[in-house]
Amino acid sequence: MTEEPDLKYLAVRYIEMICIGIFVFGFLWEGTIVMNLTTPQFLMMYGGCGAVISEILSHLFKKKPKVKK
């Protein structure tokens, strides 16, 4: 039997994910200004970072805790 997480916990995690997304977007946006990147270069950098971050998250979510029998 699995225990469902509390709704408050899920809401806080959702807000955290939004804040992390905003931080990454702002970091990349400011990086394009500092490095004088064009729009295609910005999109390539943003897409590459997004792919790396999503791959890391997929590996973290894939790991399941081992249950002792």
66 in a domain, yes or no? no
What average pLDDT does this structure show over 1-14? 75
Is 48 part of a structural domain of the chain?
yes
Residue 18: which H helix or E strand, with range? helix 7-35
Contact 52, 44 (CB under 8 A): no
Q: Which domain holds residue 48?
A: 7-61
In the chain, the number of structural domains is 1
* Percentage of the residues of the chain whose pLDDT score is greater than 70: 83
Residue position matching structure tokens 């394009």 = 32
Give a yes or no: residue 2 inside a domain: no
pTM of the shown model: 0.51
